[in-house]
Amino acid sequence: MSEPILTLEDVNSYYGNSHVVFDLDIEIEQNEVVALLGRNGAGKTTTLRTITGTVPRREGTIEFRGEDISSSSVDDISKKGIKLVPEDRRIFPTLTVMENLQVAHDSAVDPRPIEDMFEVFPKLEELQENKGRNLSGGEQQMLSVSRALVQNPDLLLLDEPTEGLAPVIVDDLRDVFEEVVSEDVTVLITEQNVDFALNLSERAYIIEKGANAWEGTIEELEDNEELLEEYLSVGGESGQGGEPASTD
């Protein structure tokens, strides 16, 4: 196996005085697709925000390509090749699809051609003159992912990419995201839609109340019904120590 591209060791994060992530350990290899799973409020979104530096870690170490980025700024982390596709997508509503992509392209250190994004998402080429606010939820998600991919990331963080989308749109996006993860990019995905995440991923981490609960291959997880029921079933108690539902 290759050297890990990302390593979190004993990482702790807080929102103010609220302790949300507890001694978290994660290791991701180059070109892997890894799912970060857990119930709503388990700490998944906070973990991604900690990796990008938007939620500073207080204890522990985060290494990217063997370099300690634990205290690096958000901008420096982004320039190193880590890009987050947030749950709320954050596209520019008054700009066209092409303008959204151009802004992302021009801000990147080593961008990919915008035309590459149209090969991954042909629908966006058809919509390139449409403003962001006029796109459907699925189209906005495609644009949000494209804005990250055009910046040529080494590590792509996908935060709840199917959140708020109708089942028929999720089915359409499944094939599209299979194309995305086939790109030469490492992916860490958080997702409440467990089937969607397992379909894309090779390994998974489960966190509960902000701490490691399990890790293993997708095959091991799919074969363990008790584990799925204990940590990923809908309607279970979230317990104390998780992040607010609005942030995960």
CATH code of the domain covering residue 226: 3.40.50.300
Look at residue 147 and tell me if it is in a domain. Answer: no
Look at residue 171 and tell me if it is in a domain. Answer: no
Return the pLDDT at 118. 94
Residue from 165, 158, 235, 166 nearest 201 by CA: 158
Three-state DSSP class for residue 117:
helix
Confidence band for 245, pLDDT divided at 50, 70 and 90: very low
First to last CA, the chain: 32
Return the pLDDT at 243. 47
Q: What is the mean pLDDT of the chain?
A: 90
Number of domains, the chain: 1
How large is the average pLDDT for residues 206-210? 96
How large is the average pLDDT for residues 67-80? 96
How large is the average pLDDT for residues 71-94? 94
Residue 44 in this model has a pLDDT that exceeds 70: yes
Look at residue 123 and tell me if it is in a domain. Answer: no
Look at residue 42 and tell me if it is in a domain. Answer: yes
**pLDDT tens digits along 149-191:** 999 999 999 999 998 888 888 887 888 788 777 777 899 999 9
Confidence band for 240, pLDDT divided at 50, 70 and 90: very low
Return the pLDDT at 184. 77
Look at residue 169 and tell me if it is in a domain. Answer: no
Look at residue 239 and tell me if it is in a domain. Answer: yes
Return the pLDDT at 169. 84
Q: What's the domain range around 21?
A: 1-81+155-161+186-243
Give the list of residues 6+ apart from residue 122 with CB closer than 8 angstroms, or none. Answer: none
Token pair, residue 60, equals 């522990």
Return the pLDDT at 242. 44
Alpha-carbon distance of 230 to 51, in angstroms, equals 27
Return the pLDDT at 88. 86
Confidence band for 102, pLDDT divided at 50, 70 and 90: very high
Look at residue 176 and tell me if it is in a domain. Answer: no
Reading across the β-sheet that carries 67-68, which strands appear in turn? 18-29, 4-15, 57-64, 67-68
Alpha-carbon distance of 18 to 163, in angstroms, equals 25
How large is the average pLDDT for residues 26-35? 96
Return the pLDDT at 217. 97
